[in-house]
Structure 1
């Protein structure tokens, strides 16, 4: 057994003590070493965790559940308060797979690199909820997709960059630090310091893509994982499943619909028919279930656009002229009219006012 792996018996005892902590968000192992890393970049860890609604004590227990919105917020808040716009990128690049707890060991104990990717993709829903992860066969390459789909999370750039960095490090564990994917894709707009992304992934990085993805050449993926251990792999897979064996929270029709609406906005005006079909429902059924929640489909679309508009306006690298198509509007004038209806001011005035409040907050 390789040195970095704890004995299977010790890990089993540790996990058994925490089996009752059902995961409803993301396992706290995904924040290993976070407080120390925040301090390295000049951030106040206690303040940032407090603002983000995270109890520091929870981060001491790898199988404790942390709310996914809170987890994503802590990275966005750190990037803002520390002035390090690439905080998530740097955190992910230094994150070792073994620090990821159960999910990390599932990858490390797999037989080959290819099997590690398959096993991690299969186990990921137990590690993190309300998210998409899949391994897609694209011919000469695999495409490893990752996407947060929690309706309450809009700002998720930092999480995307750190998550792809962790997967990248899992592969580098077998191939060495110089291994590089064919390309890297991110959903969010290109940040100012995007050259660091290319340097750290050692690959072309494309922004504004449909999904966060690593494009991984299949050549040599049959290489053996250095810590391959079939017995420990079985223990890890069983343990992560047990964390999710309790009664599931029933799906929320409003949240599920908002996720689908956000995706379709990138292609134009969302329609009830298309959204219902993507959810495996009839139009009448979806409309009825939304009305039962007091939120008709047209109101839900309008609310989702409003939330996204304010999020995009806080991304300074994103010109206002480019917002309309991101919100499903065919013309900028339609977006401007909608924005004035929501806030009584133009998008430009809203951004200026928000910027002045931010500067005042920093000064005080």
Structure 2
């Protein structure tokens, strides 16, 4: 069995020294074929998201996380398959996940597989929270993309929890199911499909993307457990990140800070700089190096968030001003007309056609 896994792992380039700039391309294994199977134009989807299709054939190469999340959303849109990420994840075998998949497969038990995958995930995908929270008789596995430039990430969330589900079912059987599944995004129209695939209650509009996993179900041994190969895979994924595992870029960190601040009103330069461990002058200087001012950054973040909120049909336009840090709705309307030349209501109506 070990020889078989090593043979399968050989394309992962354990002797390469590529650096991971966002997410290892193994996370998109088979994506082109799946897009094609859903009736969308692969070249158009990948081209819109600035993804070189050749990268998808090389699991230890990497994609920008913004492009990766965008390509899943774009594939869902162009294929008219609203549950694209969910269905893509359902057919995703652990072996196709590259190094992170084999780290799970080579672990001693299902519990250790879960722990090892969570510990290695920062090397597989940057700017992401992945953690196991001990809740007594069960674990809560939390997953959340924390990149300041990514607003739409529903498809990625459903795909990722589906991948982890498949890894656990590899050891525990196809009928195994979590206690509950949680998603950050609003409930989609075809939400019953989520309940069917996870075979568990699924809740939406939650703080994190999570799975509640009963501990007693995790004691079964992994079929391909191999302690030596596990060490090889863990070392390989660390080496792919040795030159690039670093904090978010300054602009992305500032964007994230602005988004959080908007929930409490108008962002303040001094407060943001303090939270980033910088002086206001240093932050302004670093932003200028990227051809940005603090005011422009706030405006850009508001504009992106406004279009994101308007696409959530269940969210009343009257509530968006506060979510964007405006003290009154008229200020939001003026800003929106400046950005797009139409009112928020007109923009939402046009986007529905």
Q: TM-score range by the shorter chain?
A: 0.7 to 0.9
Q: 1:149, CA displacement in angstroms?
A: 2.2
Q: Which residue matches 2:159?
A: 162
Distance 1:169 1:287, change over 3 A: same
The one of 118, 124, 136 aligned to 2:133: 136
Contact kept? 1:192, 1:317, Cα under 8 Å: no
1:174 aligns with 2:186: no
Q: 1:283, CA displacement in angstroms?
A: 6.4
1:232 aligns with 2:229: yes
Q: Give per-residue Cα distances to partners, 1:259-279, cap 9 Å, x unaligned.
A: 233345456655556645654
The one of 14, 26, 29 aligned to 1:29: 26
Q: Which residue matches 2:4?
A: 6
Q: Which residue matches 1:362?
A: none
Residues in 2 aligned to 1:16 and 1:342: alpha-carbon distance in whole angstroms: 46
Q: Give per-residue Cα distances to partners, 1:56-99, cap 9 Å, x unaligned.
A: 22111111212222222221111111111111111011111111
Residues in 2 aligned to 1:208 and 1:326: alpha-carbon distance in whole angstroms: 16
Aligned partner of residue 215 in structure 1, secondary structure: strand
Residues in 2 aligned to 1:349 and 1:178: alpha-carbon distance in whole angstroms: 48
TM-score, with length taken from structure 2: 0.88
Alignment: residue pair count:
353
Residues in 1 aligned to 2:147 and 2:173: alpha-carbon distance in whole angstroms: 34
Q: Give per-residue Cα distances to partners, 1:276-328, cap 9 Å, x unaligned.
A: 56545566765665466564545433321211111222344544345345434
Q: 1:190, CA displacement in angstroms?
A: 1.8
Aligned partner of residue 139 in structure 2, secondary structure: strand
The one of 331, 341, 344 aligned to 1:347: 344
Contact kept? 1:19, 1:242, Cα under 8 Å: no
Distance 1:301 1:240, change over 3 A: same
Q: 1:339, CA displacement in angstroms?
A: 2.5
Q: Which residue matches 2:301?
A: 304
Q: CA RMSD in A?
A: 2.8
The one of 92, 95, 101 aligned to 1:95: 92
Contact kept? 1:38, 1:44, Cα under 8 Å: yes
Residues in 1 aligned to 2:83 and 2:27: alpha-carbon distance in whole angstroms: 18
Residues in 2 aligned to 1:209 and 1:88: alpha-carbon distance in whole angstroms: 18
Q: Give per-residue Cα distances to partners, 1:25-58, cap 9 Å, x unaligned.
A: 2111111111221122111222212222222221
Contact kept? 1:125, 1:131, Cα under 8 Å: yes
1:47 aligns with 2:44: yes
Question: 87-96 or 185-194, which moves further after superposition?
Answer: 185-194
Residues in 2 aligned to 1:262 and 1:301: alpha-carbon distance in whole angstroms: 8
Q: 1:101, CA displacement in angstroms?
A: 0.7
1:252 aligns with 2:264: no
Contact kept? 1:12, 1:235, Cα under 8 Å: no
Aligned partner of residue 216 in structure 2, secondary structure: coil
Q: Which residue matches 2:111?
A: 114
Question: 34-43 or 330-339, which moves further after superposition?
Answer: 330-339
The one of 314, 320, 324 aligned to 1:323: 320
Distance 1:183 1:87, change over 3 A: same
TM-score, with length taken from structure 1: 0.85
Aligned partner of residue 150 in structure 1, secondary structure: coil
Question: 271-280 or 204-213, which moves further after superposition?
Answer: 271-280
Distance 1:47 1:259, change over 3 A: same
Residues in 2 aligned to 1:141 and 1:263: alpha-carbon distance in whole angstroms: 31
Question: 107-116 or 173-182, which moves further after superposition?
Answer: 173-182
